[in-house]
Amino acid sequence: MSLSSQETQRRRQVNNLLHTLRGEQFRHQQNLRRSRADFNTTRAYNLPTLPPGLLSELNQHNSSPITQPKAPEKASTSSGSWSGPSPPKSWIKRDALTDPQSTPVWRREAFAIVAQHINGFLSPEKVPPLSLMCLRAIVSRSSNDEELKDLMLYVPEHLQRDLIRYHAIHSPLPQWKLNVLLALRPGGHVDGEILVVGPKANLTEDHFLVNNSEGTANSQELDWESEEHSNEPLRHLFLVSTRLSTAMLLTLPPTLTHIALIHLPSPIPLARLTKLCPLLVLLDLSFNSWLCNQLDAEDILDKVDWSRWSHLQVLGLRECYVPADLLQNVNKHRWDDVSLIR
């Protein structure tokens, strides 16, 4: 046997011996840690040179199954949860006292019908455009109405409208900021739309009455070459968790085509709306507690003369009582049936 072959054989023996020693050392360490790592896929010489304590924690973290984060448990207020009287509200977690209607998830669901039939509502899966993100930063840093008014005068109406829509879902604007945006243009609306999310924000009782008269006067005074203001009439009215009195309802303009009255605290004379807004295409009355009871819902809905709304296409009554003959009454004498969403 040549010297070169003997040298090669010795090197192989040394390598095999080192491999055996490394394997024994690895198994010994695994026994000390009581680890269940797979010997076929894990090699001692491939492991990082970390201290045993950190390495053990790393192995336990990798071997543990991935679980979805659990939702925070709400504190129960039932009398059966404690041996004594219920704890005061100050002891209960803030999450347990949160109103479901004050969450972005609920507000996104509330605007689902409107967003489906009106262009411009941002999908929750999409990232807001850069212009909207910059505008949000500007509005959030505004500390008074004069400053906000000076800034918003240079912002196009459609961006102001998108800003109000975005905040309506994620974080409703406070009353003073909403008032500034609605007072910038004649008519008291933004690009033909009014969107108010309460309960901290409301429209004044004479909002439509004052702005309708002022809008007509201002439109006559504007120069015909002026491009600062548009003569777009009010077409969209979306009110969520805010009040709408009978006096305010009677001053609604007849140009409205899309109305959403969602989760209002008190009932409204719905029958009068047919004469006030004959061009209605979409009407959403979802999540109103005064339409949940069978007797109340039948009394309110049966008084409506649905034939007056000849342009009506969509009627929303989610989480409301729907009489058995309602759809038949709504579609009576129509060429195209109204889509009822409940």
Same structural domain, 220 and 319: yes
The CATH number for 156's domain is 3.80.10
Q: Report the Cα 35 to chain-centroid distance in Å.
A: 46
**What average pLDDT does range 181-208 have in this prediction?**
91
Same structural domain, 124 and 250: yes
pTM of the model as a whole: 0.69
Residue 68 lies in a domain: no
Condensed to tens digits (0 to 9), the pLDDT of residues 206-243 reads 899 887 765 554 544 444 444 455 578 999 999 999 99
* Residue 260, both tokens: 């959403």
Same structural domain, 180 and 299: yes
* Percent of the chain residues past pLDDT 90, beyond the cut: 49
Residue 69 lies in a domain: no
**What average pLDDT does range 44-64 have in this prediction?**
51
Residue 15 lies in a domain: yes
Lowest mean pLDDT among 8-12, 150-154, 272-276: 8-12
**What average pLDDT does range 311-339 have in this prediction?**
94
Same structural domain, 32 and 118: no
Residue 230 contacts residue 190 (beta carbons within 8 Å): no
Same structural domain, 51 and 104: no
Q: Report the Cα 17 to chain-centroid distance in Å.
A: 65
Q: Is the pLDDT of residue 192 over 60?
A: yes
Residue 71 lies in a domain: no
- Maximum average pLDDT range among 14-18, 209-213, 281-285: 281-285
Same structural domain, 146 and 238: yes
Q: Is the pLDDT of residue 154 over 80?
A: yes
Task: Round to whole Å and give the CA distance between 62 and 154.
Answer: 54
Q: Is the pLDDT of residue 65 over 50?
A: no
| 283 sits in which H/E element | strand 282-284
Same structural domain, 303 and 157: yes
Same structural domain, 200 and 304: yes
pLDDT at 193: 95
Q: Which alpha helices (DSSP H) does the chain contain, by range?
A: 3-33, 52-63, 104-110, 112-117, 130-140, 145-152, 157-170, 175-182, 207-221, 246-249, 270-276, 294-302, 326-330
Same structural domain, 35 and 131: no
- Maximum average pLDDT range among 16-20, 63-67, 142-146: 142-146
Same structural domain, 25 and 119: no
Same structural domain, 168 and 316: yes
Lowest mean pLDDT among 72-81, 196-205, 222-231, 291-300: 72-81
Task: Round to whole Å and give the CA distance between 194 and 189.
Answer: 5
Which residue, 282, 287, 281, 283, is CA-closest to 318?
Answer: 287
pLDDT at 15: 80
CA-CA-CA-CA torsion for 223, 154, 194, 171, nearest 10 degrees?
-170
Q: Which residue has the higher pLDDT, 212 or 248?
A: 248
pLDDT at 249: 95
pLDDT at 22: 83
Condensed to tens digits (0 to 9), the pLDDT of residues 89-148 reads 666 555 444 677 789 999 999 999 999 998 777 676 678 888 889 999 989 888 888 999
Determine phi and psi for 238, rounding to 5 degrees.
-125, 115
Determine phi and psi for 341, rounding to 5 degrees.
-110, 120
11, 41, 60 — which closes off a domain? 60
Residue 255 lies in a domain: yes
Task: Round to whole Å and give the CA distance between 299 and 293.
Answer: 10
pLDDT at 58: 47
Residue 80 lies in a domain: no
Residue 226 lies in a domain: yes
Lowest mean pLDDT among 100-104, 110-114, 159-163, 265-269: 100-104
HSE-up of residue 283 (Cα within 13 Å, Cβ side):
21
Omega cis (within 30) before 199:
yes
Q: Which residue has the higher pLDDT, 249 or 100?
A: 249
Task: Round to whole Å and give the CA distance between 104 and 229.
Answer: 32
Residue 74 lies in a domain: no
pLDDT at 258: 97
Q: What is the extent of the structural domain holding 211?
A: 100-341
* Percent of the chain residues past pLDDT 70, beyond the cut: 73
Q: Residue 239's beta-bridge partner residues?
A: 196, 261
Q: How many CB atoms lie within 10 A of CB 160?
A: 20
In the predicted model, what is the mean pLDDT of the chain? 80
Beta-carbon contacts of 159 under 8 Å, excluding residues fewer than 6 positions away, are: 131, 132, 135
How many separate domains does the chain show?
Answer: 2
Same structural domain, 233 and 303: yes
